[in-house]
Amino acid sequence: MTLPVRLVEHRAVATVTVNGQPLDMLVDSGASVSILPAATAEQLKLTLHMMPFGTYMYGHTGSMEANRTWVKTLGFGSAELKNVLFVVGGHEHGNGIQGILGRNILALGDTEYDLAHGIVRLVFPKGDCEAVSMAYWAKDAPVIVARFAPQPRGGSDAARVQVKVNGVPMTALMDTGAPSTSIALSSARKAGLQEGAMTPFGRAAGLGEDKARRWLADFDSFQIGGETLTHQRLLVDDVENDHYDLLLGLDYFLAHRVYVSRLQGKVYATWNGTGVFAQYPGAARTEWDTRFALTPDAIAPDDADGLARRGMALQTQGKPREALEDLNRAIALKPEEAQYRLARARVHQALRQSKEALVDVGEALRLDPALHTARLLRAELIAAKPDRAAALADLRQLDAQLPPTAGERADMGDLYASLDQKDDALRQYQLWLASHGNDLRQARVFNQRCWLRARTGTELADALQDCQSALKKDGDVALFHSTLGWVYLRQGDASKAISAFNAAIEKDGRLSWAYFGRALSEWRQQDNVSADRDLEKARQLRPGIDEAVKRAGFEVPPAWTRPAS
């Protein structure tokens, strides 16, 4: 049973049907069950049921409460299942993804992941298959064979395999839903990693609203089933999980063809000859010995779908020019396919070819006017030019086409705000917030709405409430504290503004707007020495910030004015 998969922005996406309606869903081998965000369940008019008392869903960075529902039919590939369980909760992943396809589907049998070709297969072995290699495609190439780790209490259908990091035995969960491979902080310490050897690298997110600290660090060795990699840079996440030490993410799957044999309790894989883990700045350059690789099978020259899927995979692997070649060939074979045009537009965008991207996304919309992700992308591209009238036309058409609960409305709010359409932006933010109560992006959207009101100097009491809501949900983001400072400035409270800017700068000493805002606050308190110091720092961090602040709608003292650099 074959399930075609598109690679979009480091996500493996399959189109399925739920009660006859097409949905794009994340293919997530790390999720124990399939999931629908509440907004999607509402759009589908599904009946929700409470989970058993005390039941929580657990993800990489925390847990969440959820409901559940059963859909009458789930169609995927050539199959249709009836009365399928979905958990309802969590957050959306953007790019039109409306749910997660988890292991209650992906683990119905053995599972083969050939993501470099954009294919997932469910396999149901027949006959005596307990002692044979399931890497049926391998021929004479080396095969990686990793045994399942011991099962946790109660059992599991997850592919948890035995690996070694710096020679230390560990358990890795094979997780197509994780864009990149990562190791838990406590496990990294077991492998000998010292905290001083880690570089902060943002935060990790998972199933619920929680986030975790994240770093980059170098490891001497990684081993899995006979495959040994040396001098690799990996993500380190401050998470705890009793069932695994690492997540082997999409980067690993793209570099291998993988077969999960639940019958044998093993994972088989062959290496495609490409870099195994995501590449990060400053990492040691690995010289790969491709003698041990099994080059993926050639795609038939008339297989447009295969060429397009491979092109999207190449784009995800950071190879836009090779991706462009495949997508050019696919479009020549099937010029009427809107998704190919959208995929090529994203490649052109990555290559900074905005003119070509606009042509492709325009053609995608001509072929399929209801392709919402394409219309949103075109609005973004046009707004950046800027062509206000055309961008607004796309946004208004999207507004008419999309249901009130659509996940795209948060991004539409941002675009309306960038075009100085305050009322339209506020409406989009409100629609999104009303239907995404526990979404991971709630804090960001509250902050965006707060900033819009702050820079327009309107509804300042509501702006303050929005900023406080953002900080209550996520007080670790320096930008949120800075936005609060600008609200206090608008309200004329320089003392509170300084406190907010201090908090922002303490968390991020390179936030130019926080320094400029603090300088304005100090100037209002007639502390000219401190104001001059902060103003100079802001200008060092961002030449031309004076003009940027004025364009945002704030007054700058005439004595400060100087030509933008």
Q: What is the CATH number of the domain that holds 496?
A: 1.25.40.10
Q: Residues of the chain whose pLDDT is less than 50?
A: 564-565
Give me the pLDDT at residue 565, please.
Answer: 45
Give me the pLDDT at residue 292, please.
Answer: 81
DSSP string, 475-514: TT-HHHHHHHHHHHHHTT-HHHHHHHHHHHHHH-TT-HHH
Please indicate, yes or no, whether residues 104 and 176 belong to a single structural domain of this protein.
no
Q: How many domains does one find in the chain?
A: 3
Which of residues 292, 321, 352 is at a domain's end? Answer: 292
Q: What is the 3-state secondary structure (H, E, C) of 420-484?
A: CCHHHHHHHHHHHHHHCCCCCCHHHHHHHHHHHHHHHCCCHHHHHHHHHHHHHHCCCCHHHHHHH
**Distance separating alpha carbons of residues 222 and 182, to the nearest angstrom:** 12
- What six digits make up the tokens of 345? 């537009």
Please indicate, yes or no, whether residues 210 and 250 belong to a single structural domain of this protein.
yes
User: Do residues 252 and 237 make contact, with C-beta atoms less than 8 angstroms apart?
Assistant: no
Give me the pLDDT at residue 156, please.
Answer: 84
Please indicate, yes or no, whether residues 30 and 103 belong to a single structural domain of this protein.
yes
Give me the pLDDT at residue 78, please.
Answer: 82
Please indicate, yes or no, whether residues 150 and 266 belong to a single structural domain of this protein.
yes
**Distance separating alpha carbons of residues 390 and 398, to the nearest angstrom:** 12
Q: How far is CA 68 from the centre of its chain?
A: 24
Please indicate, yes or no, whether residues 167 and 210 belong to a single structural domain of this protein.
yes
**What is the per-residue pLDDT across 355-392, written as a single tens digit (0 to 9) for each?**
999 999 999 999 999 999 999 999 999 988 778 899 99
- Count other C-beta atoms under 10 Å from residue 17's C-beta: 14
Please indicate, yes or no, whether residues 148 and 110 belong to a single structural domain of this protein.
no
Give me the pLDDT at residue 62, please.
Answer: 66
**Distance separating alpha carbons of residues 557 and 471, to the nearest angstrom:** 30
Please indicate, yes or no, whether residues 166 and 272 belong to a single structural domain of this protein.
yes
Please indicate, yes or no, whether residues 113 and 138 belong to a single structural domain of this protein.
no
Which of residues 226, 261, 292 is at a domain's end? Answer: 292
Q: What is the CATH number of the domain that holds 232?
A: 2.40.70.10
Residue 16: phi and psi, rounded to 5, are -125, 175
Structure-token match 């399942």, residue found:
148
Burial 234-250 (b: 16+ CB within 10 A, else e): bbbbbbebeebbbbbbb
Give me the pLDDT at residue 503, please.
Answer: 98
Closest CA to 3 of 134, 98, 135, 108: 108
**Distance separating alpha carbons of residues 259 and 274, to the nearest angstrom:** 18
Structural domain including 14 reads 2-117
Give me the pLDDT at residue 300, please.
Answer: 93
Please indicate, yes or no, whether residues 171 and 232 belong to a single structural domain of this protein.
yes
DSSP string, 204-222: EE-SSS-EEEEEEEEEEEE
